[in-house]
Structure 1
Amino acid sequence: MDFSQEYLNNQVWEDQPLSFGLPMQILEDGREIKAVTYTEPEGHVLFRLYAPGAADVVICCRYSRGHEIRIPLKAGTDGLFEGILPNREVYGGAQVVRVFMDQQEILSPYLPVCWVGNRPANFIEIPSAAGEDICIQAVPHGAVVREIFWSETLKSFQRCMIYTPPGYMNSEETYPVLYLLHGGTCNELDWIYSGRLPYLLDNLIAGGKIAPFLVVMNNGMVRHEQTQAVWDDALEQMLVRDNIPYIENRYRVSTGKWNRAIAGLSMGAYMTNDIGFRHPELFGYMGQFTACMTHKKDFPNYKRPYHKAMAEAVQNPEAFAGNYKVFFRSTTPEEDYFEYFEADDEICKNAGIDKLPCSYRIVFPENTSKIDSWRMGLRDFAQLIF
């Protein structure tokens, strides 16, 4: 695939949690270089890492379905190591990269840093056909706000991030709210930088494709006992008892279930199903970007509500449609657990949900990366709610 120079020069590729621009490496001769550039017009990724004294440097890029490509970098005479990741559609989006110097994994200060795997990790943004949606455009931009609130449920302070749409600060309007959940081992920053949510929604609002709304992003990794890796209802209780009241007391938002939506990717899709099905009185819209009623195992002392919701849908499908104006599911064949989505298809079919007007199902084209599919799922879901 070919990309325009304008697209490859968009600043979104350099926006990262620590900086609005990629760090520069300073060589011994005083030259300054970027660690990542894009060869034109194909959008291949050129890695340049300065490692004088290293014998070998290898970049490993993880992408869909747990695959990883290794890129041994070629050593130059000036301490620079270079290598190219050829652009493929399945690599598109924000992908985690691991850097090995002399067989030792390091966190490179010259590549963007995110939070995944419950730790800091390097990542890069790889151009893709879906990237136009998240480019920084000459349109009004919303704001991202950090809030610290007390959770009586968890007996601790918690942090959430809030996207407010363009014009929010200077208006007296009230807005609906999407509570958006991230994937496993990430945190409340994930949708901002990996998902590029602010730019995506800014562009949709400017194009008249969606009505403005707020987005609240919490840390989905909270647990009643933080040493436990298994799911429990800590996020659900914290969201319902602490976070939603906090948001509705502090921000100009419309209340009632038809002004609240809940959605998420991967682990966040699992939690969306659980919270949305358990609280139809709170949420009128549900979005799952990978879907996840099905899971390889259930967790001890944690009862999932979708079984009851599906049984009730069989008896009274109109009641299900009355509870949710939108029940949205999307994925890509490149998703790590695509078979879960297919199993959810059978669950929805058996319950008759697939025939209801509130039901939306999208499988994005083959070779769509899972990162791109999450962004595209949010893009399409946002145009259906409120």
Structure 2
Amino acid sequence: MRFLWLICLLFSLPGLAQESNVFDNLTVKSAILKKDKKFALYLPPGYETSQRSYPVLYLLHGGGDDQTAWLQQGNMQNIVDKEIREGRISPMIVVMPDAEMTFYLNSVAGKYQYEDFFINELIPHIEKTYRCRTEKRFRAVAGLSMGGFGSLLYAMHHPDLFGSCVAFSAGVRTDQQIREMPHQEYLRRYRTSMGELKETDNRITDFWNQNSILYLIQKMPESQKKAVRFYLDCGDDDLLLYKGNAEMHTLMRDVNIPHEYRVRNGGHTWEYWRTGLPDALQFISQSFL
């Protein structure tokens, strides 16, 4: 009896408890992009010692960051560990790909097809390499800013692939904001995906509409409106993106797309996204049940 008590005590010590693992510099060969693409990976506690398969969250970074951002600035490993340990979410694999400044789009000129890479190469690579639950409801996508835009885009372009979508401070802008944006700012944000438009060129093109979240909401067929569970979260002091996010919420209400919409105190900051991540993870985990 004393021996069993000692064994239990030893395995309850922090140093011997099962731990998660992160890898921040993995690569996948891409024939579509014609190069190796980096991604970071979180494996939940128990992954190495079990044979079970896990749900997968694709967690997307914002503009100017890379695959390490959610690990370094976002503290996601500690946050996810705590939510799992305290029983609020299911253990899950988290994949954080590097998207550069692509806005997670296929480029207008067809030279850099990031969305095709993500859907046709990255997801199959993850599901072949790691023990993943591959049913739609066990696959989620989330992101912040540019990554929030990307998560919405993928959920709307591929509703057959994702069960839930979380967008923090999503990089969604109204057509008026795009038209009025100073030219150099427009090029800095959208050159990679939209091309080298001249200052006098029309920015609201067919290609723009095909990838505009607000346009996709308005044109969404009835059969798709309940296909994905949506969660939107944008700070009341987010001077960059509050207008587009508020418009997105209003349009979703108008066309009867079920969603959760959160406005908390804060701006376009890592503090805001870190503090919102636990609730978002719980929302995602509900889809896994």
TM-score computed with the length of structure 2 as normaliser? 0.74
Cα distance in 2 for partners of 1:248, 1:283 equals 14
2:220 corresponds to 1:312: yes
Please name the residue that 1:40 is paired with: none
2:240 corresponds to 1:344: no
The aligned amino acid for 1:362 is R
The aligned amino acid for 1:371 is W
Cα distance in 2 for partners of 1:368, 1:184 equals 16
Q: What's the RMSD between the two structures over aligned residues? A: 2.7
Please name the residue that 2:61 is paired with: 182
The aligned amino acid for 1:333 is D
The aligned amino acid for 2:256 is G
Distance 1:305 1:340, change over 3 A: closer
Displacement of 1:293 in angstroms is: 3.8
Displacement of 1:199 in angstroms is: 0.3
**Do 2:217 and 2:251's aligned partners in 1 also have CA atoms closer than 8 Å?**
no
Please name the residue that 2:117 is paired with: 238
**What is the CA deviation profile of residues 203-260 of structure 1, one whole-angstrom value per residue up to 9, with x for unaligned ones?**
0001100000001001121659xxx999997331111111111111110011021111
Q: Percent identity?
A: 27
**What is the CA deviation profile of residues 68-91 of structure 1, one whole-angstrom value per residue up to 9, with x for unaligned ones?**
xxxxxxxxxxxxxxxxxxxxxxxx
The aligned amino acid for 2:22 is V
- Matches for 1:220-231 after TM superposition, within 5 Å: 220-221=99-100, 223=102
- Matches for 1:135-146 after TM superposition, within 5 Å: 140-145=18-23, 146=25
**Paired residues, number:** 237
Greater fraction of residues in helix: 2
Q: Return 5+ residue gaps in structure 1 as ranges.
A: 1-136
Displacement of 1:362 in angstroms is: 1.0
Please name the residue that 1:380 is paired with: 279
Please name the residue that 1:102 is paired with: none
Moved over 2 A (4+): 137-141, 228-235, 291-303, 305-313, 367-370
2:113 corresponds to 1:210: no
Q: Which moved more, 1:183-192 or 1:292-301?
A: 292-301
Q: Return 5+ residue gaps in structure 2 as ranges.
A: 1-13, 179-189, 195-204
Displacement of 1:369 in angstroms is: 6.4
Cα distance in 2 for partners of 1:231, 1:155 equals 13
The aligned amino acid for 1:177 is V
2:58 corresponds to 1:159: no
Displacement of 1:143 in angstroms is: 0.6
Cα distance in 2 for partners of 1:233, 1:289 equals 25
Distance 1:252 1:361, change over 3 A: same
Please name the residue that 2:132 is paired with: 253
Distance 1:148 1:312, change over 3 A: closer
2:261 to 361, 365, 368: 361
**Do 1:223 and 1:232's aligned partners in 2 also have CA atoms closer than 8 Å?**
no
Cα distance in 2 for partners of 1:332, 1:384 equals 18
Please say which structure displays the higher CA radius of gyration. 1
TM-score computed with the length of structure 1 as normaliser? 0.56
**What is the CA deviation profile of residues 295-334 of structure 1, one whole-angstrom value per residue up to 9, with x for unaligned ones?**
5328464421642443335xx2x6411x11x200001112
The aligned amino acid for 2:211 is R
**Do 2:42 and 2:95's aligned partners in 1 also have CA atoms closer than 8 Å?**
yes
Cα distance in 2 for partners of 1:188, 1:231 equals 23
**Do 2:159 and 2:224's aligned partners in 1 also have CA atoms closer than 8 Å?**
no
2:254 corresponds to 1:333: no
More relative contact order, 1 or 2 (CA 8 Å, 6+ apart): 2
